[in-house]
Amino acid sequence: MWFKNLSVFRLTEAFTLSPEELEQKLEPLSFRPCGPHEEFTFGWTAPLGKGAQQLIHSTDGFMMLCVKKEERVLPSSVVNELVQEKISEKEEQQARKLSKKERTEIKDELIFDLLPRAFTFSRKIYAYIDPKGGWVIVDAASAKSAEDLLSLLRKSLGSLPAVPLNTLEKPTATMTQWLLNNSAPDDITIEDECELRSPEEAGGIIRCKRHDLALPEIKNHLDTGKEVIKLAVSWADRIAFIIDENLAIKRLRFLDLIQDQVADIETGDEAAQFDVDFSIMSAELANFLPRLIELFGGENKA
C-alpha cells in the first residue's frame, strides 16, 4: 500500500485512542452498498480488503483506515434529454409553460425512477493517523476528497482537532527562489516539471513538462513576476513528488533506496506484504514531514 498523494493535516491535540478503541468508533459508520434509491453511500471499510474485517490496520503505532464511496451512475446527458421530453409532453398537453418548480419536480421524479436501474461504481480513499508525530495523512489528489474523509472521521469520533499543514513561509515564494537563484537545499533536487502563474487576478499560467528548469526562458518568466505554484522535486534520493502552493503532494514515488528495502524482506502472503509496505512507507514519511516543514521556514501554529 503505497500512497500516491499526500494531503497532510496537523493534529492540534494528542490522539490517544488505541487501534481497538478507534475501530469501535468507526464501526457504526461502516460502509454499506447503495440502496435502490440512494445516489451514493460513504463509509469505513477494511484497508486490507479481500475479505478482511478489521477497519484499522495498525503497524508500529501508525493506524491505517479506509473509506469507501459507492455511487449510482446517471449520465446527465441522458437525464436532461428524458426530462426535456417529459416537460415538452406536459406543456403540450396543458398548453402552457411549466414553472421552474414543476420542472424540478419532474426531474426529481425521473431520477427517483431511474436510480434503481443505474449502474454503481465505487472508489476508496486511504489515510493513516500518526499519533506520535501528530499527523493525519490522506492519500487524496483533491482537497475535497481529503476533507470528505476527515468529515466522516470527525463524525465517527465526535470531533477531530486537525488542521491543514501550514508553514511560516509561503510555498510559492520559497519555490520561486529555488528556481530563480538556483538555491534549492542540498537534499532537494529540482526535476523537470513546474507550473508558473502571474500573481495578478486571472493571471497567466505556464506549464512545463520534461523541461530543463535551469534554462534562461524559465528565469525570464520569473523575472517578469511569475511565481512557482507547482514544482517537481526529489528528496535525498528517497522520494520524488510534485508539491503545490498549498503544500499538497502529488504523484508521490518511493525511489530505489526505499524499494530495495522492500525487496530485501520476504513475505508469505498479501497481508504480510501490506504490513511491510505500510511500515516502511509510514516510517519514511515520518522522517520526511519534519524536513518538509523546515524547507518552508517552520510550522505556523498561529
Instruction: Identify the pLDDT of residue 4.
Output: 98
Per-residue pLDDT tens over the stretch 252-298: 999 999 999 999 998 878 889 999 999 999 999 999 999 999 999 99
Helices (H), the chain: 19-26, 76-94, 100-114, 143-157, 171-181, 216-223, 256-263, 270-295
- The mean pLDDT of 23-43, rounded to a whole number, is 95
Instruction: Identify the pLDDT of residue 86.
Output: 85
243: helix, strand or coil: strand
Residue 117: phi and psi, rounded to 5, are: -95, -5
Listed in sequence order, the residues at least 6 apart from 12 whose beta carbon sits closer than 8 Å to its beta carbon are: 161, 162, 163
Task: Give the residue, 184 or 86, on which the prediction is more confident.
Answer: 184
> Grid cell 509561503 — which residue?
170
| Cβ atoms 281, 6 nearer than 8 A | no
Whether the predicted pLDDT of 139 surpasses 90: yes
Length of the chain: 302
- The mean pLDDT of 68-73, rounded to a whole number, is 94
Q: Which of 2, 1, 4 is nearest to 251 (CA)?
A: 4
Per-residue pLDDT tens over the stretch 197-236: 998 877 789 999 999 999 999 999 999 999 999 999 999 9
pTM value > 0.85: yes
- Read off the C-alpha cell for 7: 494531503
Whether the predicted pLDDT of 299 surpasses 80: yes
Q: Give the C-alpha distances (Å, rounded to integers) separating 199 from 155, 194, 217.
A: 38, 16, 18
226 CA to centre of own chain: 27
Mean pLDDT, the chain, whole residue set: 93
End-to-end CA distance of the chain, in Å?
Answer: 34
Instruction: Identify the pLDDT of residue 255.
Output: 97
Instruction: Identify the pLDDT of residue 11.
Output: 97
- Read off the C-alpha cell for 208: 512545463
pLDDT band at 66, cuts 50/70/90?
very high
61: helix, strand or coil: coil
Q: Which of 143, 66, 137 is nearest to 281 (CA)?
A: 137
For the CA atoms of 278, 231, 164, 48, what is the dihedral angle to 10 degrees?
-20
- The mean pLDDT of 241-258, rounded to a whole number, is 97
Q: Which of 133, 161, 136, 168 is nearest to 299 (CA)?
A: 168
pLDDT band at 241, cuts 50/70/90?
very high
pLDDT band at 14, cuts 50/70/90?
very high
* β-strand pairing of 162-164 with 7-11: antiparallel
Q: Give the C-alpha distances (Å, rounded to integers) separating 123 from 42, 68, 112, 132, 215.
A: 10, 6, 23, 29, 41
Task: Give the residue, 53 or 194, on which the prediction is more confident.
Answer: 194
